[in-house]
Structure 1
Amino acid sequence: MLNIEIVSDIVCPWCFIGTRRLATAIAQVRTTHPDFVCRKIWRPFFLNPDTPPQGEPYLPFLIEKFGSRERVESIFAHVRNAGQAYALDYAFEKIQVRANTLQAHRLIALAQTDGADATPLVDALFAAQFQHGRNVGDRGELLAIATACGYPAEAVRVFLAGDDNTLEVRALEREGRRLGINMVPTFILDGRRIIVGAEDPAVLAAGIREVLAAQK
Protein backbone atom coordinates (compact mmCIF):
# COMPACT_ATOMS: atom_id res chain seq x y z
CA MET A 1 0.00 0.00 0.00
CA LEU A 2 1.40 3.36 -1.05
CA ASN A 3 -0.03 6.62 0.27
CA ILE A 4 -0.30 9.33 -2.37
CA GLU A 5 -1.09 12.72 -0.86
CA ILE A 6 -2.49 15.19 -3.36
CA VAL A 7 -2.25 18.83 -2.37
CA SER A 8 -4.75 20.70 -4.49
CA ASP A 9 -7.52 23.27 -4.66
CA ILE A 10 -10.89 22.85 -6.32
CA VAL A 11 -10.53 26.16 -8.18
CA CYS A 12 -7.18 25.18 -9.73
CA PRO A 13 -7.77 24.03 -13.34
CA TRP A 14 -4.42 22.24 -13.50
CA CYS A 15 -5.35 20.24 -10.40
CA PHE A 16 -8.25 18.73 -12.35
CA ILE A 17 -5.84 17.68 -15.10
CA GLY A 18 -3.46 16.46 -12.42
CA THR A 19 -6.03 13.98 -11.15
CA ARG A 20 -6.29 12.45 -14.63
CA ARG A 21 -2.54 12.37 -15.13
CA LEU A 22 -2.15 10.62 -11.77
CA ALA A 23 -4.78 8.03 -12.73
CA THR A 24 -2.92 7.42 -16.00
CA ALA A 25 0.37 7.10 -14.10
CA ILE A 26 -1.13 4.54 -11.73
CA ALA A 27 -2.33 2.51 -14.71
CA GLN A 28 1.17 2.66 -16.16
CA VAL A 29 2.71 1.46 -12.89
CA ARG A 30 0.35 -1.50 -12.84
CA THR A 31 1.72 -2.70 -16.17
CA THR A 32 4.94 -3.58 -14.32
CA HIS A 33 3.53 -3.92 -10.79
CA PRO A 34 0.13 -5.58 -11.30
CA ASP A 35 -0.52 -5.83 -7.56
CA PHE A 36 0.19 -2.15 -6.92
CA VAL A 37 -2.30 -0.62 -4.48
CA CYS A 38 -2.40 3.00 -3.36
CA ARG A 39 -4.47 5.23 -1.14
CA LYS A 40 -5.18 8.78 -2.26
CA ILE A 41 -5.23 11.38 0.49
CA TRP A 42 -6.46 14.84 -0.48
CA ARG A 43 -4.80 17.74 1.31
CA PRO A 44 -6.11 21.33 1.24
CA PHE A 45 -4.52 24.30 -0.44
CA PHE A 46 -5.99 27.78 -0.83
CA LEU A 47 -4.99 28.99 -4.27
CA ASN A 48 -6.58 32.38 -3.54
CA PRO A 49 -6.52 32.71 0.27
CA ASP A 50 -7.84 36.27 0.09
CA THR A 51 -11.13 35.22 -1.55
CA PRO A 52 -14.10 36.63 0.42
CA PRO A 53 -16.29 33.98 2.08
CA GLN A 54 -19.12 34.77 -0.34
CA GLY A 55 -16.79 34.76 -3.34
CA GLU A 56 -16.51 37.47 -5.96
CA PRO A 57 -16.88 37.88 -9.75
CA TYR A 58 -14.60 35.43 -11.54
CA LEU A 59 -13.58 37.00 -14.84
CA PRO A 60 -12.87 40.52 -13.49
CA PHE A 61 -10.53 38.98 -10.90
CA LEU A 62 -8.62 37.06 -13.57
CA ILE A 63 -8.34 40.09 -15.85
CA GLU A 64 -6.90 42.13 -13.00
CA LYS A 65 -4.52 39.31 -12.04
CA PHE A 66 -3.21 38.61 -15.53
CA GLY A 67 -3.46 42.07 -17.03
CA SER A 68 -5.90 41.68 -19.91
CA ARG A 69 -8.86 39.73 -21.25
CA GLU A 70 -6.65 38.49 -24.09
CA ARG A 71 -4.12 37.04 -21.65
CA VAL A 72 -6.90 35.31 -19.69
CA GLU A 73 -8.36 33.80 -22.86
CA SER A 74 -4.89 32.56 -23.84
CA ILE A 75 -4.57 30.81 -20.47
CA PHE A 76 -8.03 29.30 -20.87
CA ALA A 77 -7.07 27.96 -24.32
CA HIS A 78 -3.87 26.43 -22.97
CA VAL A 79 -5.75 24.62 -20.19
CA ARG A 80 -8.47 23.46 -22.59
CA ASN A 81 -5.86 21.99 -24.93
CA ALA A 82 -4.16 20.16 -22.08
CA GLY A 83 -7.46 18.82 -20.81
CA GLN A 84 -8.58 17.42 -24.15
CA ALA A 85 -6.08 14.56 -23.89
CA TYR A 86 -8.00 13.38 -20.82
CA ALA A 87 -11.51 14.04 -22.12
CA LEU A 88 -11.84 17.10 -19.89
CA ASP A 89 -13.93 19.83 -21.48
CA TYR A 90 -13.51 23.10 -19.59
CA ALA A 91 -16.40 25.57 -19.63
CA PHE A 92 -14.73 28.66 -18.18
CA GLU A 93 -17.44 30.80 -19.72
CA LYS A 94 -19.95 29.30 -17.29
CA ILE A 95 -18.01 30.28 -14.16
CA GLN A 96 -19.44 33.41 -12.58
CA VAL A 97 -17.99 33.26 -9.06
CA ARG A 98 -14.43 33.10 -7.81
CA ALA A 99 -15.25 30.70 -4.99
CA ASN A 100 -13.83 30.53 -1.50
CA THR A 101 -12.97 26.84 -1.11
CA LEU A 102 -12.81 26.47 2.67
CA GLN A 103 -16.20 24.74 2.80
CA ALA A 104 -15.27 22.40 -0.06
CA HIS A 105 -12.06 21.40 1.73
CA ARG A 106 -14.03 20.83 4.93
CA LEU A 107 -16.36 18.53 3.00
CA ILE A 108 -13.45 16.61 1.47
CA ALA A 109 -11.89 16.17 4.91
CA LEU A 110 -15.20 14.83 6.21
CA ALA A 111 -15.39 12.38 3.31
CA GLN A 112 -11.94 11.06 4.25
CA THR A 113 -12.98 10.20 7.80
CA ASP A 114 -11.53 6.85 8.90
CA GLY A 115 -9.48 6.55 5.73
CA ALA A 116 -12.40 6.57 3.29
CA ASP A 117 -11.68 7.45 -0.34
CA ALA A 118 -12.89 10.95 -1.21
CA THR A 119 -11.82 10.76 -4.85
CA PRO A 120 -15.35 10.50 -6.34
CA LEU A 121 -16.39 13.59 -4.37
CA VAL A 122 -13.27 15.48 -5.42
CA ASP A 123 -13.91 14.61 -9.07
CA ALA A 124 -17.50 15.80 -8.72
CA LEU A 125 -16.34 19.09 -7.21
CA PHE A 126 -13.86 19.70 -10.03
CA ALA A 127 -16.54 18.91 -12.61
CA ALA A 128 -19.00 21.24 -10.87
CA GLN A 129 -16.46 24.07 -10.94
CA PHE A 130 -14.94 23.72 -14.38
CA GLN A 131 -17.55 21.95 -16.47
CA HIS A 132 -20.81 23.27 -15.02
CA GLY A 133 -19.81 26.64 -13.57
CA ARG A 134 -21.32 25.93 -10.17
CA ASN A 135 -20.25 27.92 -7.13
CA VAL A 136 -18.23 25.38 -5.12
CA GLY A 137 -18.07 27.81 -2.22
CA ASP A 138 -21.82 27.80 -1.73
CA ARG A 139 -23.10 25.45 0.98
CA GLY A 140 -26.26 24.66 -0.95
CA GLU A 141 -24.28 23.65 -4.02
CA LEU A 142 -21.91 21.57 -1.90
CA LEU A 143 -24.85 19.82 -0.28
CA ALA A 144 -26.29 18.97 -3.70
CA ILE A 145 -22.93 17.71 -4.98
CA ALA A 146 -22.32 15.56 -1.90
CA THR A 147 -25.83 14.14 -2.01
CA ALA A 148 -25.41 13.22 -5.67
CA CYS A 149 -22.25 11.33 -4.62
CA GLY A 150 -24.26 9.29 -2.13
CA TYR A 151 -23.55 11.09 1.13
CA PRO A 152 -26.52 11.47 3.53
CA ALA A 153 -28.14 14.83 2.87
CA GLU A 154 -29.18 15.71 6.41
CA ALA A 155 -25.80 14.82 7.91
CA VAL A 156 -24.00 16.90 5.29
CA ARG A 157 -26.40 19.83 5.74
CA VAL A 158 -25.81 19.89 9.50
CA PHE A 159 -22.06 19.59 9.01
CA LEU A 160 -21.86 22.44 6.51
CA ALA A 161 -23.99 24.65 8.74
CA GLY A 162 -21.43 24.32 11.53
CA ASP A 163 -17.67 24.75 11.73
CA ASP A 164 -16.47 21.27 12.64
CA ASN A 165 -12.93 20.56 11.33
CA THR A 166 -12.45 24.15 10.09
CA LEU A 167 -9.43 24.68 12.33
CA GLU A 168 -7.98 21.33 11.28
CA VAL A 169 -8.35 22.14 7.58
CA ARG A 170 -6.69 25.52 8.02
CA ALA A 171 -3.88 23.91 10.04
CA LEU A 172 -3.27 21.30 7.32
CA GLU A 173 -3.09 24.04 4.70
CA ARG A 174 -0.56 26.00 6.78
CA GLU A 175 1.47 22.83 7.33
CA GLY A 176 1.74 22.33 3.59
CA ARG A 177 3.04 25.85 3.11
CA ARG A 178 5.57 25.33 5.91
CA LEU A 179 6.80 22.30 3.98
CA GLY A 180 7.43 24.64 1.06
CA ILE A 181 4.37 23.75 -1.00
CA ASN A 182 3.34 26.85 -2.89
CA MET A 183 2.20 25.33 -6.18
CA VAL A 184 -0.58 22.88 -6.90
CA PRO A 185 -1.10 20.15 -7.64
CA THR A 186 1.73 18.70 -5.55
CA PHE A 187 2.01 14.95 -5.09
CA ILE A 188 3.66 13.46 -1.99
CA LEU A 189 4.52 9.81 -2.49
CA ASP A 190 4.82 7.74 0.69
CA GLY A 191 5.81 10.87 2.61
CA ARG A 192 9.24 10.90 0.96
CA ARG A 193 9.06 11.84 -2.72
CA ILE A 194 7.49 15.14 -3.80
CA ILE A 195 6.47 15.91 -7.37
CA VAL A 196 5.31 19.47 -8.02
CA GLY A 197 2.88 20.36 -10.76
CA ALA A 198 0.51 18.49 -13.09
CA GLU A 199 3.43 16.51 -14.49
CA ASP A 200 3.29 14.10 -17.40
CA PRO A 201 2.03 10.65 -16.33
CA ALA A 202 5.44 9.16 -17.16
CA VAL A 203 7.08 11.44 -14.59
CA LEU A 204 4.53 10.50 -11.94
CA ALA A 205 4.83 6.80 -12.77
CA ALA A 206 8.63 6.98 -12.51
CA GLY A 207 8.32 8.63 -9.11
CA ILE A 208 5.96 5.94 -7.88
CA ARG A 209 8.29 3.19 -9.12
CA GLU A 210 11.24 4.84 -7.35
CA VAL A 211 9.36 4.84 -4.07
CA LEU A 212 8.26 1.23 -4.54
CA ALA A 213 11.86 0.21 -5.17
CA ALA A 214 12.99 2.06 -2.01
CA GLN A 215 10.39 0.19 0.06
CA LYS A 216 12.01 -3.19 -0.68
Structure 2
Amino acid sequence: MKLHIDLIADFVCPWCHVGEARLRSALALLAEKRPEVQVEIQRLPFFLDETTPPEGYEYQSYLERKFGSAEKVREVQQQVIEAGEPDGARFDFDKVELRPTTLPAHRLILQLQAVGADPVLVAKLAHGIFSAYFEGGRNIGDPKVLAMIAQLAGVQDKELAEWLEGDDAEDEVMEVYKQVKSLGIQGVPFFVFNQQFAVSGAQSAGNLLTAMEQALDAA
Protein backbone atom coordinates (compact mmCIF):
# COMPACT_ATOMS: atom_id res chain seq x y z
CA MET A 1 0.00 0.00 0.00
CA LYS A 2 1.28 3.44 -0.92
CA LEU A 3 0.88 6.84 0.68
CA HIS A 4 1.65 9.88 -1.46
CA ILE A 5 2.36 13.12 0.40
CA ASP A 6 2.47 16.53 -1.21
CA LEU A 7 4.45 18.75 1.14
CA ILE A 8 4.22 22.46 0.40
CA ALA A 9 6.68 24.64 2.31
CA ASP A 10 9.17 27.50 2.19
CA PHE A 11 12.67 27.26 3.62
CA VAL A 12 12.52 30.61 5.45
CA CYS A 13 9.28 29.61 7.17
CA PRO A 14 10.02 28.60 10.79
CA TRP A 15 6.71 26.78 11.10
CA CYS A 16 7.67 24.74 8.02
CA HIS A 17 10.81 23.63 9.86
CA VAL A 18 8.55 22.57 12.75
CA GLY A 19 6.09 20.95 10.33
CA GLU A 20 8.81 18.89 8.63
CA ALA A 21 10.02 17.66 12.02
CA ARG A 22 6.50 16.71 13.07
CA LEU A 23 5.99 14.91 9.77
CA ARG A 24 9.12 12.86 10.44
CA SER A 25 7.70 11.94 13.85
CA ALA A 26 4.35 11.04 12.30
CA LEU A 27 6.02 8.87 9.67
CA ALA A 28 7.95 7.03 12.38
CA LEU A 29 4.65 6.31 14.14
CA LEU A 30 3.08 5.17 10.87
CA ALA A 31 6.00 2.82 10.21
CA GLU A 32 5.44 1.19 13.61
CA LYS A 33 1.69 0.77 13.10
CA ARG A 34 1.59 -0.04 9.40
CA PRO A 35 5.01 -1.17 8.21
CA GLU A 36 3.59 -2.33 4.88
CA VAL A 37 2.91 1.26 3.78
CA GLN A 38 5.31 2.74 1.23
CA VAL A 39 5.58 6.52 1.57
CA GLU A 40 6.34 8.86 -1.29
CA ILE A 41 6.91 12.57 -0.60
CA GLN A 42 6.72 15.24 -3.29
CA ARG A 43 8.01 18.63 -2.16
CA LEU A 44 6.36 21.62 -3.78
CA PRO A 45 7.61 25.23 -3.61
CA PHE A 46 5.97 28.13 -1.83
CA PHE A 47 7.15 31.68 -1.22
CA LEU A 48 6.23 33.50 1.97
CA ASP A 49 7.32 36.65 0.17
CA GLU A 50 7.64 36.27 -3.57
CA THR A 51 8.97 39.84 -3.85
CA THR A 52 12.21 38.99 -2.00
CA PRO A 53 15.13 40.25 -4.11
CA PRO A 54 18.18 38.09 -4.88
CA GLU A 55 20.17 39.83 -2.14
CA GLY A 56 17.42 39.25 0.44
CA TYR A 57 16.45 41.48 3.36
CA GLU A 58 18.02 42.24 6.71
CA TYR A 59 16.28 39.74 8.99
CA GLN A 60 15.46 41.62 12.17
CA SER A 61 14.17 44.78 10.50
CA TYR A 62 12.10 42.68 8.09
CA LEU A 63 10.42 40.85 10.97
CA GLU A 64 9.84 44.04 12.93
CA ARG A 65 8.06 45.52 9.93
CA LYS A 66 5.99 42.37 9.64
CA PHE A 67 5.06 41.93 13.31
CA GLY A 68 5.14 45.54 14.48
CA SER A 69 7.84 45.52 17.15
CA ALA A 70 10.99 43.79 18.37
CA GLU A 71 9.07 42.56 21.41
CA LYS A 72 6.45 40.85 19.24
CA VAL A 73 9.20 39.26 17.13
CA ARG A 74 10.82 37.80 20.27
CA GLU A 75 7.45 36.50 21.42
CA VAL A 76 6.73 34.76 18.12
CA GLN A 77 10.24 33.31 17.95
CA GLN A 78 9.96 31.90 21.45
CA GLN A 79 6.68 30.22 20.50
CA VAL A 80 8.38 28.62 17.52
CA ILE A 81 11.37 27.47 19.58
CA GLU A 82 9.11 25.80 22.13
CA ALA A 83 6.94 24.22 19.44
CA GLY A 84 9.89 22.72 17.61
CA GLU A 85 11.74 21.29 20.60
CA PRO A 86 9.77 18.03 21.13
CA ASP A 87 10.23 16.86 17.52
CA GLY A 88 13.79 18.04 17.05
CA ALA A 89 13.35 21.27 15.08
CA ARG A 90 16.04 23.56 16.47
CA PHE A 91 16.35 27.33 16.14
CA ASP A 92 19.08 29.86 16.90
CA PHE A 93 17.53 33.11 15.72
CA ASP A 94 20.49 35.13 17.02
CA LYS A 95 22.55 33.69 14.17
CA VAL A 96 20.06 34.57 11.44
CA GLU A 97 20.99 37.89 9.87
CA LEU A 98 19.37 37.64 6.45
CA ARG A 99 15.94 36.86 5.04
CA PRO A 100 17.20 35.34 1.77
CA THR A 101 15.47 34.42 -1.44
CA THR A 102 14.49 30.74 -1.46
CA LEU A 103 14.25 30.42 -5.23
CA PRO A 104 17.65 28.66 -5.53
CA ALA A 105 16.73 26.16 -2.80
CA HIS A 106 13.40 25.39 -4.47
CA ARG A 107 15.19 25.00 -7.82
CA LEU A 108 17.55 22.49 -6.27
CA ILE A 109 14.83 20.37 -4.65
CA LEU A 110 12.60 20.44 -7.74
CA GLN A 111 15.50 19.46 -10.01
CA LEU A 112 16.56 16.54 -7.82
CA GLN A 113 12.99 15.25 -7.74
CA ALA A 114 12.70 15.67 -11.51
CA VAL A 115 15.76 13.51 -12.18
CA GLY A 116 14.57 10.81 -9.79
CA ALA A 117 17.02 11.35 -6.94
CA ASP A 118 16.74 9.04 -3.93
CA PRO A 119 13.81 10.35 -1.81
CA VAL A 120 15.83 9.73 1.35
CA LEU A 121 18.56 11.97 -0.05
CA VAL A 122 16.06 14.69 -0.96
CA ALA A 123 14.56 14.54 2.54
CA LYS A 124 18.02 14.78 4.08
CA LEU A 125 18.82 17.76 1.89
CA ALA A 126 15.59 19.57 2.75
CA HIS A 127 16.28 19.03 6.44
CA GLY A 128 19.83 20.25 5.90
CA ILE A 129 18.63 23.47 4.28
CA PHE A 130 16.23 24.20 7.13
CA SER A 131 18.90 23.42 9.72
CA ALA A 132 21.59 25.46 7.98
CA TYR A 133 19.30 28.48 8.00
CA PHE A 134 17.51 28.33 11.32
CA GLU A 135 20.28 26.72 13.38
CA GLY A 136 23.38 28.03 11.66
CA GLY A 137 22.22 31.32 10.19
CA ARG A 138 23.63 30.40 6.77
CA ASN A 139 22.56 32.30 3.67
CA ILE A 140 20.60 29.61 1.85
CA GLY A 141 20.05 32.01 -1.04
CA ASP A 142 23.76 31.77 -1.86
CA PRO A 143 24.44 29.07 -4.50
CA LYS A 144 27.82 28.28 -2.92
CA VAL A 145 26.21 27.68 0.47
CA LEU A 146 23.53 25.50 -1.12
CA ALA A 147 26.15 23.47 -2.96
CA MET A 148 27.95 22.85 0.32
CA ILE A 149 24.72 21.79 2.07
CA ALA A 150 23.93 19.46 -0.82
CA GLN A 151 27.38 17.89 -0.64
CA LEU A 152 27.03 17.33 3.11
CA ALA A 153 23.65 15.70 2.47
CA GLY A 154 25.27 13.28 0.05
CA VAL A 155 24.48 14.82 -3.33
CA GLN A 156 27.32 13.74 -5.59
CA ASP A 157 27.35 16.03 -8.60
CA LYS A 158 30.54 17.83 -9.56
CA GLU A 159 28.59 20.26 -11.74
CA LEU A 160 26.02 21.19 -9.08
CA ALA A 161 27.75 24.37 -7.91
CA GLU A 162 27.90 25.67 -11.49
CA TRP A 163 24.27 24.68 -12.10
CA LEU A 164 23.15 26.57 -9.00
CA GLU A 165 24.85 29.72 -10.29
CA GLY A 166 22.54 29.65 -13.30
CA ASP A 167 18.79 29.93 -13.63
CA ASP A 168 17.79 26.49 -14.92
CA ALA A 169 14.44 25.32 -13.53
CA GLU A 170 13.42 28.80 -12.35
CA ASP A 171 10.47 28.81 -14.74
CA GLU A 172 9.45 25.35 -13.54
CA VAL A 173 9.53 26.46 -9.91
CA MET A 174 7.38 29.49 -10.61
CA GLU A 175 4.92 27.43 -12.66
CA VAL A 176 4.48 24.91 -9.83
CA TYR A 177 4.14 27.77 -7.35
CA LYS A 178 1.38 29.32 -9.47
CA GLN A 179 -0.40 25.96 -9.55
CA VAL A 180 -0.17 25.70 -5.77
CA LYS A 181 -1.56 29.22 -5.34
CA SER A 182 -4.38 28.45 -7.78
CA LEU A 183 -5.56 25.74 -5.38
CA GLY A 184 -6.21 28.44 -2.78
CA ILE A 185 -3.25 27.56 -0.57
CA GLN A 186 -2.25 30.74 1.24
CA GLY A 187 -0.13 29.47 4.10
CA VAL A 188 2.47 26.80 4.79
CA PRO A 189 3.30 24.16 5.75
CA PHE A 190 0.50 22.44 3.90
CA PHE A 191 0.17 18.66 3.53
CA VAL A 192 -1.96 16.67 1.11
CA PHE A 193 -2.25 12.92 1.62
CA ASN A 194 -3.12 10.76 -1.40
CA GLN A 195 -4.58 13.86 -3.05
CA GLN A 196 -7.63 13.54 -0.77
CA PHE A 197 -6.92 14.68 2.77
CA ALA A 198 -5.36 18.09 3.36
CA VAL A 199 -3.82 19.40 6.56
CA SER A 200 -2.87 23.05 6.95
CA GLY A 201 -0.25 24.31 9.36
CA ALA A 202 2.34 22.68 11.61
CA GLN A 203 -0.09 20.18 13.07
CA SER A 204 1.00 17.72 15.74
CA ALA A 205 2.47 14.36 14.76
CA GLY A 206 -0.70 12.75 16.07
CA ASN A 207 -2.92 14.84 13.83
CA LEU A 208 -0.73 14.12 10.83
CA LEU A 209 -0.82 10.40 11.61
CA THR A 210 -4.61 10.50 11.78
CA ALA A 211 -4.83 12.20 8.39
CA MET A 212 -2.42 9.70 6.86
CA GLU A 213 -4.42 6.75 8.17
CA GLN A 214 -7.66 8.27 6.91
CA ALA A 215 -6.11 8.67 3.46
CA LEU A 216 -4.90 5.07 3.51
CA ASP A 217 -8.25 3.72 4.65
CA ALA A 218 -10.04 5.64 1.91
CA ALA A 219 -7.80 4.26 -0.82
Pick one of 148, 164, 168 that aligns with 1:164: 168
Pick one of 155, 174, 184 that aligns with 2:159: 155
> Matches of 2:115 and 2:138 in 1, distance apart?
29
Pick one of 146, 150, 165 that aligns with 2:150: 146
Offset at 1:89?
A: 2.5
Partner of 1:176 in structure 2?
A: 180
Partner of 1:196 in structure 2?
A: 200
Runs of 4 or more, structure 1, over 6 Å off, are none
Q: Deviations over 1:151-207 (max 9, x none)?
A: 235321121122211101000011101001111000011112111111011111111
Partner of 1:32 in structure 2?
A: 33
> Matches of 1:191 and 1:142 in 2, distance apart?
30
> Matches of 1:161 and 1:140 in 2, distance apart?
8
Structure 1 letter corresponding to 2:195: G
The reply to whether residue 62 of structure 1 matches residue 66 of structure 2 is no
| TM-score for both structures, normalised by structure 1 | 0.95
> Matches of 2:83 and 2:211 in 1, distance apart?
21
Partner of 2:113 in structure 1?
A: 112
Partner of 2:52 in structure 1?
A: 51
How many residues end up aligned between the 2 structures?
A: 215
The reply to whether residue 206 of structure 1 matches residue 210 of structure 2 is yes
- Please identify, of 138-147 and 25-34, the stretch whose mean Cα deviation from structure 2 is larger: 25-34
Partner of 1:8 in structure 2?
A: 9
**1:146, 1:153 within 8 Å by CA — same for their partners in 2?**
no
> Matches of 1:87 and 1:22 in 2, distance apart?
11
> Matches of 1:154 and 1:26 in 2, distance apart?
32
**2:98, 2:139 within 8 Å by CA — same for their partners in 1?**
yes
> Matches of 2:53 and 2:16 in 1, distance apart?
22
- Please identify, of 74-83 and 155-164, the stretch whose mean Cα deviation from structure 2 is larger: 155-164
- Structure 2 unaligned runs (5+)? none
Partner of 2:22 in structure 1?
A: 21
Identical columns (%): 35
**2:21, 2:88 within 8 Å by CA — same for their partners in 1?**
no
| SS of aligned partner of 2:55 | coil
- Please identify, of 57-66 and 33-42, the stretch whose mean Cα deviation from structure 2 is larger: 33-42
**1:20, 1:86 within 8 Å by CA — same for their partners in 2?**
yes
Structure 2 letter corresponding to 1:6: L
Offset at 1:32?
A: 2.8
| SS of aligned partner of 1:2 | strand
- Please identify, of 170-179 and 104-113, the stretch whose mean Cα deviation from structure 2 is larger: 104-113
Q: Deviations over 1:96-116 (max 9, x none)?
A: 111100001001112213433
- Structure 1 unaligned runs (5+)? none
| SS of aligned partner of 2:158 | helix
Structure 1 letter corresponding to 2:29: Q
Partner of 2:101 in structure 1?
A: 100
| SS of aligned partner of 1:5 | strand
**2:12, 2:133 within 8 Å by CA — same for their partners in 1?**
yes
> Matches of 1:207 and 1:46 in 2, distance apart?
25
